[in-house]
Amino acid sequence: MGSLPHIVEDLEGVVQLYSDGSVFRANDVDFNIPIHDDSSIVWRDCQFDNQNHLYLRLYKPVNASTKLPVVYFFHGGGFCVGSRTWPNNHNACLRLASGLQALVVAPDYRLAPEHRLPAAVDDALTSLKWLQARATADGAPAQDTWLHDQAVDFDRVYIMGDSSGGNMAHHLAVQLGPGSPELAPVHIRGYVLMAPFFGGTVRTKSEAEGMPEPILNVEILDRFWRLSLPPGKNADHPLANPFSPFSKKNLESVMFDPVLVIAGEIELLRDRVEDYARRLKEAGKKVEYVEFEGKYHGFFNNDPYSELGDRVLQEIKDWMSKISG
């Protein structure tokens, strides 16, 4: 008789990969995070991918008096965990919708290890194609006041991602190019990468010497890559490392829309994120880097209604105004 399947990878009991390839995924994660709903934002869920049963959540200010810009928000979770329904992500989107006075679109995407990369990036593009379909003359139902071209401005679309969502935003920027012509009439103006989850086989100083964070350490980072990358690949894969030696494109020669990069001063990914922004800026890209003193990974998503959250939103608003003229 063969041995019983045993756990080979364990993400704090939330996701467990067994030796026979089966996956256990907990559905009753205990969050001690209250929902901050002051009734200024209404929200609803829509299915955007019937084949993969994927949904997104729309957030709209109640008292909007002008056409709203569109802000996409891709959640984090190392490509392995997370959902639009998790309270931290829900609160972040409520705050983005009110603080930016925007229609916020928060798509889910397929998670690893059941669906390894590039599945998540593919799903992100599918969610944008969903918006494109509704921006065409006959795409949105006439009764859908949320997505009517008199309610939202499809010429002002911004892509935002936190952690692994920031990685996805980067790949969308590279794939879609300046002005996102393949999404017309949707026009992406720029990308906000909040501590994007990038990797590499060579440790940065902050990864090698930094103190473990309350919910993150280098072992967890490594585990995320083992679970999310194609089997047998390491963190120098182009989907993990934007400057991968195995990439078919020289990133410094690729053209894409403006990027705002945000990081915490003491997070493990800080040096890798700063290096990404610096190298792109040196290559002539329109990249801005903002660092928040004394902050760990996920600082906005975990407390968007704080004074710090207000500062993050102001940085984003100022940047959006600058790049949109």
User: Catalytic residue numbers?
Assistant: 163, 267, 297
Which helix (H) or strand (E) is 73 found in, with range?
Answer: strand 68-74
Residue 62's φ and ψ, nearest 5 degrees, are: -65, -45
CA angle, 104 as apex, 287 and 299 as ends, to 5°? 60
Short-list 152, 80, 74, CA closest to 106: 74
Gap between the Cα atoms of 112 and 81, Å rounded: 8
Residue 291's φ and ψ, nearest 5 degrees, are: -120, 135
Residue with tokens 């990439």: 247
Which helix (H) or strand (E) is 55 found in, with range?
Answer: strand 54-61
Gap between the Cα atoms of 75 and 83, Å rounded: 7
